[in-house]
C-alpha cells in the first residue's frame, strides 16, 4: 500500500530543505504517492512530462536511448532524490526512461501543482536550482572524462560517483548499495560491456574490487581513487 | 573516539584545520568520495605513511589552526 501522505516523508529531502512545517504540509498535500514494483517504468522517454517526482524508497535508473537504439545510463536515483522534474520546465517531454530497479515508493506532483508550490514557497525553486546545478556539474565532469580520459579512469570515476551517492561501509570494504550490472557501468562510461568486464576482471585479480552479478564492493578504496585521479603510486614502506 | 579511528570525513568536518596538513602529507582525502568510509588509520596505511607522526601533526594543527599551513 502507498504510505499515507505524512509531511515527515519530505524531511531530509534536498528539494524541501529549509521549509517550515506548514510548507511541508502544503507540499505533501499536493503529492500523489505511488508504488512501482521492481522492473517497471515510472515514466518513459518522449512521454509528456506530467509531473515532478521524488523517490521515497527504492532505486531508480534513468536511461536515455539514442536514435540508433544505444542506451546511456544518465544516473541512478536513491531515496530522497528528485527526478524527472526538469522536463516540466523545459519542453514538457521526459528526456529519458525512469525504471524501478528495486521496488519503489515515489511521490509525484502534477506539473501545475509543482509550479504552484514553487510560486508559494520560493525555497523549493531555489533548492531545485541547487540540485540541478549539482547535476550539471556532474555531467560536465562526465563529458570531460569521456572526451579526455582513458576508459579505465572513466570507469573508476563512475564507481566513485556511485560510492558518493550510495556507498556503504561493509566488512570487506565499501559497497555500492545499488543493483548494478556491468552493462550499467558500460552505459555510464560510454564504453562496451567487453571493456568493462575486462577492466573489472583486472581490478578483481588485483584485489581492488569484487563484483557479483549485481553488487560491487571496493576492497581497496585508495587504489580505485589512485586510478581515477592518476595519483602517484604509494612508496613501499621498509 | 581516538583520532586514528575517526573517519576522514568526520575528522575534516569536525576539525577543518587538519585539511592543509592532509594535503601537505600528499593525502587526497579532502573532497574524496571514500572519505566518509575510511579511518585515519586506514588512510595512513593506504598511503604508506607512519600513523604516529601523521597523528601528531593532525592534533598539532587542530590545537593551533593558524599554524596548520606551516606544519607537515
What pLDDT, on the 0 to 100 scale, is given for residue A125? 95
Provide the CATH number for the domain around residue B64: 1.10.3910.10
Average pLDDT over residues B17-22: 92
What cell was used for A103?
Answer: 521496488
Q: Which backbone phi and psi does A213 adopt, to 5 degrees?
A: -65, -35
Cβ distance of A164 and B33 shorter than 8 Å: yes
More confident residue, A137 or A214: A137
DSSP assignment string, A108-173: EEEHHHHHHHHHH-HHHHHHHHHHHHHHHHHHHHHHHHHHHS-HHHHHHHHHHHHHHHHEEEETTE
Q: Which of B2, B1, B8 is nearest to B44 (CA)?
A: B8
Average pLDDT over residues A40-69: 94
CA–CA distance, A98 with A76 (Å, rounded to integer)? 9
Percent of chain B with pLDDT over 90: 74
Domain that holds residue B63: 3-70
CA–CA distance, A162 with A56 (Å, rounded to integer)? 18
- Tens-place pLDDT, residues A74-87: 999 999 999 999 88
- Tens-place pLDDT, residues A99-140: 999 999 999 999 999 999 999 999 999 999 999 999 999 999
Domains of chain A (ranges; CATH) run 7-145 (2.60.120.10), 151-229 (1.10.10.10)
Categorize the per-residue pLDDT at A5 as very low, low, confident or very high, splitting at 50, 70 and 90: low
What pLDDT, on the 0 to 100 scale, is given for residue A235? 61
Please indicate if any CB of chain A lies within 8 Å of the CB of B36: yes
Reply yes or no on whether the pLDDT at B49 is more than 50: yes
Are A11 and A64 a contacting pair, CB within 8 Å?
no
CA–CA distance, A98 with A39 (Å, rounded to integer)? 10
For chain A, the residues whose C-beta falls within 8 A of a C-beta of chain B are 160-161, 163-164, 167, 169, 174, 218, 220-225, 229, 231, 234-237
Percent of chain A with pLDDT over 70: 96
Cβ distance of B37 and A169 shorter than 8 Å: yes
Please indicate if any CB of chain A lies within 8 Å of the CB of B48: yes
ipTM confidence score: 0.80
Reply yes or no on whether the pLDDT at A238 is more than 50: no
Q: How many domains does chain B have?
A: 1
Please indicate if any CB of chain A lies within 8 Å of the CB of B38: yes
What pLDDT, on the 0 to 100 scale, is given for residue A107? 95
Average pLDDT over residues B49-69: 79
What pLDDT, on the 0 to 100 scale, is given for residue A148? 87
Q: Which residue of B has its CA nearest to A220?
A: B46
More confident residue, A123 or B65: A123
Alpha-carbon gap: B65 to the closest alpha carbon of chain A (Å): 27
Amino acid at each position: 500500500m502507498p504510505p499515507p501522505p505524512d509531511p515527515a516523508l519530505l524531511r531530509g529531502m534536498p528539494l524541501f530543505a529549509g521549509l517550515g512545517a506548514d510548507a511541508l504540509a502544503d507540499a505533501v498535500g499536493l503529492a500523489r504517492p505511488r508504488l512501482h514494483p521492481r522492473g517497471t517504468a515510472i515514466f518513459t522517454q518522449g512521454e509528456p512530462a506530467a509531473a515532478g517526482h521524488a523517490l521515497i524508497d527504492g532505486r531508480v535508473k534513468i536511461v536515455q536511448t539514442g536514435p540508433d537504439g544505444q542506451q546511456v545510463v544518465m544516473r541512478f536515483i536513491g531515496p530522497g532524490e528528485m527526478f524527472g522534474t526538469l522536463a516540466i520546465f523545459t519542453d514538457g517531454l521526459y528526456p529519458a526512461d525512469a525504471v524501478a530497479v528495486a521496488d519503489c515508493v515515489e511521490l509525484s506532483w502534477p506539473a501545475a501543482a509543482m509550479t504552484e508550490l514553487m510560486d508559494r514557497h520560493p525555497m523549493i525553486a531555489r533548492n531545485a536550482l541547487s540540485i540541478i546545478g549539482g547535476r550539471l556539474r556532474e555531467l560536465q565532469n562526465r563529458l570531460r572524462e569521456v572526451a579526455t580520459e582513458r576508459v579505465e579512469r572513466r570507469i573508476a570515476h563512475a564507481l566513485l560517483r556511485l560510492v558518493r551517492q550510495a556507498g556503504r561501509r561493509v566488512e570487506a570494504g565499501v559497497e555500492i548499495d545499488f543493483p548494478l550490472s556491468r552493462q550499467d557501468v558500460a552505459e555510464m562510461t560510454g564504453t562496451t560491456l567487453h571493456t568493462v568486464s575486462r577492466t573489472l576482471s583486472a581490478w578483481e585479480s588485483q584485489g581492488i574490487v569484487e563484483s557479483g552479478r549485481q553488487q560491487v564492493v571496493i576492497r581497496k578504496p585508495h587504489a580505485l581513487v589512485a586510478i581515477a585521479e592518476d595519483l602517484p603510486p604509494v612508496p613501499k614502506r621498509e | 573516539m581516538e583520532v586514528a579511528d575517526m573517519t576522514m570525513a568526520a575528522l575534516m568536518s569536525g576539525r577543518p584545520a587538519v585539511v592543509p596538513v592532509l594535503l601537505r602529507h600528499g593525502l587526497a582525502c579532502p573532497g574524496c568520495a571514500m572519505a566518509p568510509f575510511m579511518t585515519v588509520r586506514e588512510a595512513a596505511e593506504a598511503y604508506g605513511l607512519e600513523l604516529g607522526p601523521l597523528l601528531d601533526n593532525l592534533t598539532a594543527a587542530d590545537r593551533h589552526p593558524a599554524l596548520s599551513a606551516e606544519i607537515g
